[in-house]
Structure 1
Amino acid sequence: MTIHQRLLMPNYSLLNPEAIQIPEDKPKVEISVPEAKGLRLVKSRQSTTLLFRYRYEGKREAKVLGKYPDLSVEEAVHLALQYQAQLSKGINPFLEMQKKAALPTFHEFFEKYYLPHAKQNKKSWKDDRSRFINHLQSTLGAIKIDQVTSAMLADALIQVNESGCKNATVNRTRALMSSILKMAFERELIEQNPMMRVKKYVEKNQIERYLSDDELKRLMLVLANAKEYGIENQIIIGIVEMLLLTGARKSEVLLLRWADLDQSNHIWKLNENKSGKPRIIQLNTEAQRIIRRMSRKYEYVFANPKTGLPYNDIRKTFQKILDAADIQNFRIHDLRHNFASMAVNNGCDIYVVQHLLGHASPTTTQRYAHLRQDTLRNASELLANRINNARPDSTI
């Protein structure tokens, strides 16, 4: 059968492929479907196939769309029209389908691309991994990266929230989602980042806790006479004092090594802080005194003498100290808040406090720096006095 004969086949064959007869001298027959350019119906003695023939970049190509009756002629026409529309724009629809089939799932992308990058650039990459496993893997992990929608992301965050997590944790999970999808967008695996339409949760910011003058006096009394209060561990006493005096993070003090200290210049060199950047802490006289009390037998300044390694947890002893000092609702990290508050209230510039704490941005420092009412009142009175001093004499 010639091409001309195929094109002239009556239209009834589209509705009834079973009625198409195969010539005795041919193993099969191929018939054009006039409703869609390039669509062919190929019938052999064993099966009927719907085939799409097309040209791309000057080359003739063919793609099997499916077997009849699993794929109807009407469905094949619909597909063929879609493919022709893409071809008219210079797009090979079948290459696009191959690319999509090769796209990773959300979990595969996280493991193959995001996590290796995070390990190299984020000190907190373990938090990202834990957050993904706990909150995202079961809900989004199996979905192709380009199939993740804003609705899916919003639903995943609802599940995180309903599991009992606070809004701050939900937002940290949202930030991880956004970072993953931003990377996928930059790698041109998705056309847009669906996180743009997923709103943050409103966080109820906790009031930063700091010590009152009376609480500080009671705390210092306990630290100076710990054994009288039944607290025997002088190393943990030293850790608490160090936190109070330097504003350093708990992990930074626990992991302090003798090799990190330049004692002649009273400097503590932190090779890597929370943000992954090196910084230097100037050690005041009291901090130096605490360090000199510690044994140099171990690599770590505040080593657990039973292991020679840093303490894993000091919360139990810290709570004993708070109980002895009658201090309520105070966390270890609040010692850092207290350091910032005292620095600001004693006249330190916010820029100076920023560098004392090792913050990358003064915005973060501002969150810790609580100004007491008497400090604000004194500042207001000072300004008022300066204005009043500029007034002309009231006498006429």
Structure 2
Amino acid sequence: GKKAYYVRYRTAEGRDVRQRLGSTTEVSFSEARRRAVAALAGVQEERRVAQPIRQRERADERVPLVREFAERFLREHVDVRLKKATRRKYRQLLRSAVLPAFGERRLNAIPRAEVVRWHGARKTTPYEANYALLLLRAMYGRAKEWEVLPESFVPPTTRVRPFPEQGRERFLTPAERQRLEAYLDRALRTRSFKHGRIRAASVYAFRLLAHTGMRRGEVLGLEWSMIDWRARCARLPDSKVGKRTVPLSPQAMEVLEGAKRLQRETPSRYVVPSSKGGQIDGSTLHATWVRVRRRIGLDDVRLHDLRHSAASDAIMSGVPLAVVGKILGHSSPSTTQRYAHISDEALARGVEQMGAAIERNSSAPTGKARTRKRKAARR
């Protein structure tokens, strides 16, 4: 057969190649050698270019999937450092928002544009969308802190703008408070076997929220050992802002006395226990509140608005903002400033009352008072 020149080499991918350079009758030995050297040089260049890519690919394989890292994030950060309500919220958002979208992707393989689209698709629930974005940012923060990702890595959550959240203020009017209290009174008198009955523990939970301004989690986690009956306060060992003391009004003490009677039916360490004596789940209390507010025509009142209303009533009664912040357990004075406009209203009302009192007690009345006296004298 015909003889030919060949060169044999292995590609960057590891494939064995036998390349024909030409037949011996068409190509001289020196030309065949030149072609072989050129072919091998090309292969060498391919290997040089491919080496960093292969190194990156091998490094990428060591970066965990989002779902894999989420397990560590929950175990080593969420369950160790965060409050119970936040732990529950993070788990719920991982299940419903983060893992369905990114669970099978590697942490370093999610483009920013994809995160922007993912966040934007949740525009109908801006608070939930922002919370999910916050969670994803926290995960990337821990990934860099634990050296799962290099310090130079730019997370895809960078410069993703959260939706603006409009703060909503809703305070109960005196008439609405009376309507709520009347309904809760009826609920306590309703027999236990009646369909649709509101449990007594839930009634006392609502009343504690309304009378103390405590947070929902604080009320549901309140134990009898935390109540100081003599000092009329509740000593919370681990609230949202850490250890704090909640002063209790005489009305709040009456609510506690009523709740104490529940111990005969359901002995429990909790002030407002579940039917089995454990802690009522927050979602269960929320569902009960939804039923209550529908029945009394307060559909736009959230459970947290009972706390806002307690603060509003205190300020309108003349309690200073700083004191209200202390009662509510605000960690920063700026949080209490949201009620400043209520304080201004109370101040304006106080000035009017002061002016009226001065006018009544003044020996030299002015303005309308003089006119009224002159008219009275003419009669």
Give the TM-score, by structure 2 length: 0.70
> Cα–Cα, structure 1 residues 114 and 239, in superposed 2: closer, same or farther, change >3 Å?
closer
Residue pairs, 1:150-299, within 5 angstroms: 150-161=112-123, 165-188=124-147, 189-190=149-150, 191-203=153-165, 205-223=166-184, 233-274=199-240, 277-293=242-258, 294-295=260-261, 296=263, 297-299=267-269
Assess if the C-alpha contact under 8 Å between 2:198 and 2:288 holds in 1: no
Show the counterpart of 1:307. Answer: 276
* 1:112-171 Cα distance to aligned partner (Å, 9 max, x none): 24552111111112311221221121221222212222112112223444xxx5111111
* 1:260-316 Cα distance to aligned partner (Å, 9 max, x none): 2222222212222235x2222112211112212223443222235x52334443457
Structure 1 residue 187 displacement after superposition? 3.5
CA distance in 1 between partners of 2:287 and 2:122 (Å): 30
Matching of residue 105 in structure 1 with residue 74 in structure 2? no
Root-mean-square deviation (Å): 3.7
Assess if the C-alpha contact under 8 Å between 1:107 and 1:141 holds in 2: yes
> Cα–Cα, structure 1 residues 336 and 291, in superposed 2: closer, same or farther, change >3 Å?
same
Gaps of 5+ in 2: 19-38, 192-196, 356-379
Residue pairs, 1:66-77, within 5 angstroms: 66-68=14-16, 77=45
> Cα–Cα, structure 1 residues 108 and 347, in superposed 2: closer, same or farther, change >3 Å?
same
Structure 1 residue 180 displacement after superposition? 1.1
Assess if the C-alpha contact under 8 Å between 2:316 and 2:343 holds in 1: yes
Among all aligned residue pairs of Structure 1 and Structure 2, give the percentage whose two residues are the same amino acid: 23
Show the counterpart of 1:20. Answer: 6
Between 339-348 and 127-136, report the one with greater CA deviation.
339-348
Gaps of 5+ in 1: 1-17, 22-42, 51-63, 87-92, 385-396
Q: What secondary structure sits across from 1:371 in the alignment? A: helix
Assess if the C-alpha contact under 8 Å between 1:340 and 1:369 holds in 2: no
> Cα–Cα, structure 1 residues 207 and 97, in superposed 2: closer, same or farther, change >3 Å?
closer
CA distance in 2 between partners of 1:270 and 1:356 (Å): 13
> Cα–Cα, structure 1 residues 316 and 77, in superposed 2: closer, same or farther, change >3 Å?
closer
User: Which of the two has greater helix per residue?
Assistant: 2
How many residues are paired up? 315
Matching of residue 142 in structure 1 with residue 104 in structure 2? yes
Show the counterpart of 2:328. Answer: 357
CA distance in 1 between partners of 2:49 and 2:97 (Å): 42
Give the TM-score, by structure 1 length: 0.67
